[in-house]
Structure 1
Amino acid sequence: MNDVIESLTHDQMVELLEIYAKNLVALDGTWFQSVERDDGMDAAMHHDREAWRRFSVSEARRIKGFLGLPEHPGLEGLAQALPLRCQSAANVDEIILEKGELLYRIVDCRVQNARDRKGMGFHPCKSVGIIEYGVFAENIDDRIACECLSCYPEIEDETCNCSWKFTLK
């Protein structure tokens, strides 16, 4: 860690964390849009799925270690880990943990908002999300299964951008 970052106040660190999260989402979007523009949506989606398949493992392991979670922390551990993801710091999300299920909803998505502002049409993120959230959850606890409830292009819930259900296998 460099001296400048170490000298920041708590409020400045929180603000910088939000900037970093937004920057990560922007970086993810810029490489995706570059591939989409040059090689088409199918190629961009392929690379997006592969990137998230690998990144989600690292992100989950780092967060699990940071939280000091045991090998099988269950849905409670996942509920602790999800808000610490980079994407969570950039989006408005909510977690509902009840009756042996964890529901995770992105209420306001920075990626979809940016594409809408640019007139690009929504990102067909369901196939990526299945990998992203499934791999993340399995690396928090390998007994956790992920199910998509609503995600573009298959929107079932108009009150959010996407919705995911996690259960123990």
Structure 2
Amino acid sequence: MVNKTLEKMERSELIQLIKIYSKNWLAMDGVWFQSVERKFGMAEAMEHDCNIWEAFTKIEAQKIKEFLKLSSRPGIDGLKRALQLRLYANINEDEIIVDGNTLIYRTLDCRVQNARKRKGMEFHPCKAVGIIEYTGFAKTIDDRFECEALSCYPEITDETCNCSWKFILKDN
């Protein structure tokens, strides 16, 4: 089914709408999380967050992989291309650094942490869920990837970004 209204829109309007959709998706993620956090605490909210991201990240990666028509093992280039099309890519400032069989993905400006800071809330302790999210995404793109957090709240080791992730393509 195709939305007839979308077919009539100009490219610039479609890009603006993608940003709106991405912000709406992130707002929904934050609304449910903060609801659970208020009622049951951070530990309970994080447990559900981990469960949700374990499933969602694979769905997102698979749909992007199909859209890009990537092979089953597209390597570093495939992961780079896929990361550039995630929903986050439309609303966070990020950078990707490739060096041989290693890719570093850095979120330079994060809407989630900015929103929590604006509301006077503790930062989201995203490292635990990030490991699940980024590992699952990368392994869905190419099962040879290993992922590690270089810097992510609550363990910030690089003050120049909100978080930093290292993906290593193993040759096996």
| TM-score bucket (shorter structure) | over 0.9
**Which residue does 2:114 correspond to in 1?**
113
**Which residue does 2:167 correspond to in 1?**
166
**Take 2:33 and 2:122, find their aligned partners in 1: how far apart are those partners?**
14
**Which residue does 1:3 correspond to in 2?**
4
RMSD between aligned alpha carbons? 0.6
**Which residue does 2:87 correspond to in 1?**
86
**Take 2:153 and 2:89, find their aligned partners in 1: how far apart are those partners?**
18
Letter in 1 for 2:169: L
Letter in 2 for 1:12: E
2:69 corresponds to 1:62: no
**How far does the alpha carbon of each residue in 1:48-105 deviate from its partner, in whole angstroms, 9 at most, with x for none?**
0000000011000000000000000011100000010011211111101113210000
Matched positions, count:
169
**Take 1:8 and 1:30, find their aligned partners in 2: how far apart are those partners?**
30
Shift of 1:115: 0.2
**Take 1:123 and 1:39, find their aligned partners in 2: how far apart are those partners?**
15
Question: Could you list the runs of 5+ residues in structure 1 that have no partner in the other structure?
Answer: none
Tell me the SS of whatever aligns to 2:84. Answer: helix
Tell me the SS of whatever aligns to 1:45. Answer: helix
Tell me the SS of whatever aligns to 1:84. Answer: coil
Please give the TM-score of this superposition, normalised by the length of structure 2.
0.97
**Take 1:151 and 1:103, find their aligned partners in 2: how far apart are those partners?**
13
Percent identity over the alignment is 58
**Which residue does 2:156 correspond to in 1?**
155
Tell me the SS of whatever aligns to 2:70. Answer: coil
Q: Structure 1 residue runs of 4+, over 4 Å off?
A: none
**Take 1:102 and 1:4, find their aligned partners in 2: how far apart are those partners?**
39
Question: Could you list the runs of 5+ residues in structure 2 that have no partner in the other structure?
Answer: none
